[in-house]
Structure 1
Amino acid sequence: MDKTRAYLDHNATAPVRPDVAAAVARALTLPGNPSSIHAEGRAARAALEGARAQVAGLVGAKPGQVVFTSGGTEAANAILSGALHRRVWPEPTHLLHSASEHPCVAAGHRFPDEAVELLPVDAAGVIDLAALDARLTALAEECVLISVHAANNETGVIQPLAEIVARARAHGRSLVHSDAVQAVGKIPLDFSALGLDALTLSGHKFAAPKGVGALVLADDVTLDGAFVRGGGQEKRLRCGTESLPSLVGMGEAARIAAESLPAEAERIAALRDRAAAGVRALAPDAVVFGEGALRLPNTLSFAVPGLDAPAALIALDLAGVAVSSGSACSSGKVARSATLAAMGVPPALAGGALRVSLGWNTVEEDVTRFLHAFERVVTSLYERQGRAA
């Protein structure tokens, strides 16, 4: 890694670990197709199933519950296609999702508009459980799919999945899916203990190669039909020859993440808190989003009144620091953050939101470089405002 720069954008993508890159390189030399029955094919199959077991272990699932995909978006789109159901129930007729979901959920489902309802979040970004109760009561005779992310990609706010699942079970005819893309590898997750019906994840968020992910299905839950049709791979749900080297890399990344929790989370949280304290010392009027809620240990989302996020991003980048805006990005264009809007953050303040997200290769010097660069950004802002920093 280039340590003349501070890469603090792990929530966008985490740099691939050296051990993961080595595992990918070894898998590239396997000549067989995992679906072939000869010795080379069996070796490839063994590597694939080893990776499946490692990913399952990271999220508290059984290997047979894991279906590999091209990433979190494809996995979420498949789950939210309307074809997910418990084997003894019909397919769900309504979708309830939080107002702060990632676009892969908010825009990736196939339910008709009249069958979709947004569940509000409070000022800290936590789902309103009373609103969920009310909607489940109103939909007592319907099959309902609830989709709530494990942790928000912008603020790092962690959602109360256990309480959500408990309410779904009380309703009786509800399924719960969690987009766990930002949480996997950063906090402990136990699919089986939580009682989730479906979970989706993406490898590149926990230092695996880009372009691979997975969905996890409970034993009594199924998808009707393949979401990618073809030769019958991945339980005949996601057909096509698997990207073996990248999946082996994801397995290795999952193994390392599982072994390093919770010590790594504690280390990173200390760096996150040092960054937050530094921001507050430099800009006493800074607002930290989601501060009153449980958050991922690696995520700091904040804004300073009057700060323009795109200009700040450029200034920080020129100073050798990579961070993100708190707003959602599409093809490099910054749009207003739906998450911050759902939290009731005024548009002017949301427009200055910055996200600092740390990871496995973040060290003290990276935080120091960020704070030095941010000091220049704040000094320039306060000078324009006619006040001292």
Structure 2
Amino acid sequence: MVRGKSQVMNLGDSISQGDLAITILIGGLLLDRLIGDPWHWLHPVQVMGWFISAYTQMALNLTNSPRGLRWLGVGLTLLMIAASGAMAWAMIALGSWIHPLLGVAVAMIILASCLAARSLRQAAEDVLTPLLAGDIQQARQRLKNYVGRDTDTLSEEEVLRAVLETVAENTVDGVTAPLFYAIVGSIISPGGAAVVALAYKSVSTLDSMVGYKRPPYTDLGCCSARMDDVLTWLPCRLTVASLALGSGHPRRFWRDCGQQARLDPSPNSGWSESAYAIALGVELGGVNTYQGVVIEKPRLGVSRRPITPVVVREALTLSRRLLVGGAVIGVLLIWVRYSHELGSSLLSFNSAH
């Protein structure tokens, strides 16, 4: 096989490793943009959810010991990461065995399933549509599908705040962090974007299902919650740094975000929410109710204007720009990683002539 050509997907001399990695990355992003997560399709997160639910039930039936549950939680976290990565690799390998282009398509589909840019926009619009039509009851009902707080008595402003907070937090969890790990995977191997992104997605899914401080998940979900915090830490800071650079006063923006983020017990959501609040000139946080329990969350940002549907859509625009900017940087990094292929190809061409 000619040096510098892809061996991972067995595409022979038809495409370089760098081109293959970029094709999979951009293809996955475009698939998410075009089709998102169709409800009637089997989704990898559904499969993860079934396994996590079964494992959780088994663990809770097996022991009540906090120590035992913590160890079972460690096992669950490591198993999910390994199994998700292995599943992605096996599916891509099987597709490539049938036909190289099928392997590429499978990698794109898996990567698209790890991204939630289109789903995030659809979720926001799903709540905004009845709200703009004056049907706040329907907006509250739809909001229940996306947030954990009680929504039955929320005012219009509180509904909008909940939507904006969801956009801010999930831009990191569902857009920039999966993209970050897809780029890391692409740098490791041309077909690695889907493998590494799905492994990250498994931790994010675990955290959303068992990463709670309330029983019965306090001990079982401890490891997954901390793992999610660790893996999301760098993508979150890079997201905030990107918003800071676009603000026109990056040092002040970063300083203000850091000061306000410390008020939030989460090492990541405080950063993303404060960044969006500062960028949009609104205030997030305040009083929320969860299963009848009132919780006062830190107030982030500075309220220079009320939260309106226009502000929520501005937040969605910020999220889209972060995705596009991240993709451009990713392509450049992949190009640098595999740029030796170009030099090798040119040398081979010159020696042949």
Q: TM-score, normalised by structure 1?
A: 0.25
Q: TM-score, normalised by structure 2?
A: 0.27
Higher helix share: 2
Higher strand share: 1
